[in-house]
Amino acid sequence: MNPSRTRFSEVLAAVLVVSAAPALFIARGSVTFAWLGYASLLAGLGIAFWINRSLARDLSLIAVPIFLISLISVEANLEWGNIALMGAVLTLCVVFPYAMSRWAFREHVVRFPRRPGEPWSRGEWAWLAAVLVLGYSILPVFFITSGSYRNWPAIETPSEIARLFVGVGFVGIWDELFFICVVFALLHRHFPLWIANALQAIVFVSFLWELGYRSWGPALTLPFALIQGWIFTKSRSVFYIVTVHLLFDVVVFLVLVYAHHPRWLPIFFVMPVDGS
């Protein structure tokens, strides 16, 4: 087979696999899009197995978690049963590709690098400070003006506040472990940075859309996903990208509390229209 044609087919296979995410997550509830999503997964894997078994194995480690996530709802829900179910499925979506890559395929592509003994640079510390400033400036505007804060339940009790805080943090950590350390790393093994990063961002943004980042949310989540993939290649540290994400999530948590109860936490400059 012509090398250029093979290369095109490999990219096509990867595109089909990741394209299942918007069909299954963004268009959740549509039977038509659900079938299209599952068909896209199978078609992408089929093409990959035909042309490149190594690529097929890695794409299967992305496809299976996408399929598992499609079986549950990832909309924000603070009920204990949903927390347990979602936590178990999301954990499996990281453990499965890690275990398969390391022990079944014996390739250990999925890793969680820590960069021990190498301190963060001044630029990396400066970016952490910038993250807080950007989060404080942008996130209240997004959540409140778009009304997306309503995609999270209003919290009333200390238990609900604690569950929201833990849930936002858990999903933030999981985002980096799965989308960056699993999806991006597996794709980057076969494709240049810009292709692998763009493909992982499709899955990243689709998941966050269902979670609640709707309206013009992708205008924020898309560049965030791309920046996180790029930072990971430069920092070589899962701890760093998780720290970046958790700093944003601290602001997210505070905005969600404020948006539902402005008088509880009057620290932002955008007032919810229906706030009290």
Write out pLDDT tens, residues 63-83: 999 999 999 999 999 999 999
Within-domain flag for 51: yes
Contacts of 5 (CB under 8 A, 6+ apart): none
CA 35/CA 49 separation, integer angstroms: 21
Predicted pLDDT of residue 271: 86
Within-domain flag for 49: yes
Sign of CA dihedral 134, 211, 11, 181: positive
CA 185/CA 228 separation, integer angstroms: 12
- What is the maximum alpha-carbon separation in the chain? 66
Question: What is the residue type of 143?
Answer: F
Predicted pLDDT of residue 6: 59
Of 87, 95, 118, nearest in space to 181 by CA: 95
- The Cβ of residue 254 has, within 10 Å, a number of other Cβ atoms equal to 19
Within-domain flag for 169: yes
Structural domain containing residue 202 = 3-260
Within-domain flag for 102: yes
Predicted pLDDT of residue 275: 52
Predicted pLDDT of residue 247: 98
CA 107/CA 249 separation, integer angstroms: 33
Domains: count for the chain: 1
Within-domain flag for 86: yes
CA 92/CA 7 separation, integer angstroms: 31
Within-domain flag for 231: yes
Within-domain flag for 269: no
Question: What is the residue type of 128?
Answer: L
- The Cβ of residue 174 has, within 10 Å, a number of other Cβ atoms equal to 19
Predicted pLDDT of residue 5: 58
Within-domain flag for 272: no
**Which residues of the chain carry a pLDDT beneath 70?**
1-6, 274-276
